[in-house]
Structure 1
Amino acid sequence: MKVAVDTEKCCGAGTCVMLAPDVFDQGEDDGIVVLLEEHPGEELHTTVREAANVCPAGAISLS
């Protein structure tokens, strides 16, 4: 799995960080998503998919 984020779309809701803190973080100044792990381990795939699905801005893409 490869994770990508579109910081231009991100609204800073933080749902991705709450679900997968090993993969996502938020910028301290603006709350915009920061990708920590582009290729998360298989044990995180389900959680990362959920984070992408619930992102209100659709800023997370998976391939």
Structure 2
Amino acid sequence: MQISIDLDKCCGAGQCVLAAPEVFDQRDEDGIVLLLDSDPPTEEHANVRQAAAVCPAAAIAVQR
């Protein structure tokens, strides 16, 4: 799984953190997404895909 984040698009909504808290977090100062695990285990893949799907800014892209 390859995860890419466009920080310029991120609006800090936090939907990714709710969907995949083991993989995403937010910066304290502005709420912008942080990628905690660039190579998440297989059991997190569905959560990562869900996080990308619910991102209101479409800032998360998932491949493979």
Please give the range of the TM-score, normalised by the shorter of the 2 chains. over 0.9
Q: Could you list the runs of 5+ residues in structure 1 that have no partner in the other structure?
A: none
Q: Which residue of the partner structure matches residue 42 of structure 1?
A: 42
CA contact 1:2–1:40 (8 Å) conserved in 2: no
Q: Could you list the runs of 5+ residues in structure 2 that have no partner in the other structure?
A: none
Q: Note the alpha carbon deviations across 1:5-58, whole angstroms, 9 max, x for none.
A: 111000000000011111000000000000111111100011110110010000
How many residue pairs end up in the alignment?
A: 63
In the TM superposition, structure 1's runs of 4+ consecutive aligned residues that sit over 4 Å from their partners are none
TM-score using structure 1 length: 0.96
**What is the CA RMSD across the aligned residues, in angstroms?**
0.6
Matched-pair identity in %: 56
